[in-house]
Amino acid sequence: MNLSLSDEHRMIRDMARSFAQKEIAPIAARCDETGEFPYQTVEKMGQQGFMGIEVPEAYGGVGMDTLSYVLAVEEISKVDASHGVIMSVNNSLFCYGLLHHGTEEQKQEYVTPVASGAVVGAYALTEPQSGSDAGNIRMTAVRSADGSHYVLNGTKSWVTSGPVARYIVVFAQTDSDASPRHRGVSEDTAATERAGFSQGKVEPKLGIRASATCEVHLEDYVCPVGSRLGAEGEGFKIAMGVLDAGRIGIAAQALGIAEAAYEASLQYARDREAFGQQIGQFQMIQQKLADMKCRIEASRLLVYQAALAKEEAKTTGRRYTLESSMAKLYASETAMWVATEAIQIHGGMGYSKELPVERYFRDAKVTEIYEGTSEIQRMVIARLETGLR
């Protein structure tokens, strides 16, 4: 498997790096402190093509490959993980599912404006009582007598970009008697401006604070049958496939966070002096830096390998669940570990908001949780390897 970057890949990486440094770096700390959603930079990300990198040009995107997407998420997240997750959800959880399971009309109506960055998309699977147990959802979708629409009722929680999204992919039970229950799950695309939609509480998060997250309430929400993705009852299967793609985006986000924490530590080890020498000359600091570098590069290989597996799947149809789960598990735990060590290297200054390493630490933690916790990733990997359920 060739993991070297082409000229095109280096171009998109450098373009994302330059954009992040110029447009995002000056506002990242302020947005983290205030929790303000970065509307202007998100719009600019759309204009640059970052909000729909893999989406064909016919639907408002730029039609690049998965590795290009990963490189861009990595560079954006290296400067600010909040921008990184906004971009990841837009690309992986919203556009990807619609491109693979939507009709031509759905792609034109929903993907085109979201991929171009004109509006933001979101994905609503989790509910208050069902996080890792994704099949245990209670939102219902009852089909009308004439078969023209569904009436949705229920609550979704932890909806990333929920407060600002124009369209949200929503999963609901269309057959409550299905056994097991997840076989009765269907998927619809809801427009947030319609009657019956309301936003619940905005989550006061530890990290990625500029990424708006909230509950979503649907009460007698009328959703046309034409907004359903795939056949009725296929929603859970679609959700799991979409999460395979989403985990690669989060793995890239985690890789970016880890790189930022490492580079800050490397510079601090060169600049900071103690006991008459640079702290980077102390063996214990050197050990930390060496271990950080090794884990980051191992994560990079797993993330890029997952990106290439997803790209190959476009022609072979083979699932890349194993590659995406391994990348997400290892990169997220690396981000948390590297950010923790970065604070230790910085000492008291690492605990201060004067430097960004404490933000990297707070942002890293969620990568071990959303789109499948580390525990879930280990379960997925073990089941795929053993063949046992």
The answer for residues whose C-beta is within 8 angstroms of residue 335's C-beta and 6 or more apart is 254, 255, 257, 258, 261, 360, 364, 367, 368
What is the DSSP code string of 206-275? Answer: SS-TTS-EEEEEEEEEEEEGGGEESSTT-HHHHHHHHHHHHHHHHHHHHHHHHHHHHHHHHHHHHH-EET
**What's the rounded Cα separation, in Å, for the pair 320 and 66?**
13
CB 210 within 8 A of CB 31: yes
**What's the rounded Cα separation, in Å, for the pair 154 and 188?**
13
CB 50 within 8 A of CB 16: yes
Residue 131 DSSP label: S
CA distance from start to end of the chain: 30
CB 73 within 8 A of CB 64: no
Other CB atoms within a 10 A radius of the CB of residue 302 amount to 22
Beta bridge partners of 208: none
Question: Within a 13 Å sphere around the CA of 315, how many CA atoms are in the beta-carbon half?
Answer: 5
**What's the rounded Cα separation, in Å, for the pair 280 and 275?**
12
By DSSP bridging, strand 185-191 and strand 167-173 are antiparallel
Q: Please report, to the nearest 10 degrees, the dihedral formed by the alpha carbons of residues 141, 103, 133, 153 taken in order.
A: -20
Distances (CA, A) of 51 to 15, 170, 294, 304: 14, 20, 31, 20
**What's the rounded Cα separation, in Å, for the pair 232 and 148?**
13
Catalytic residues: 371
Apex CA 66: angle with CA 328 and CA 84, to 5°? 60
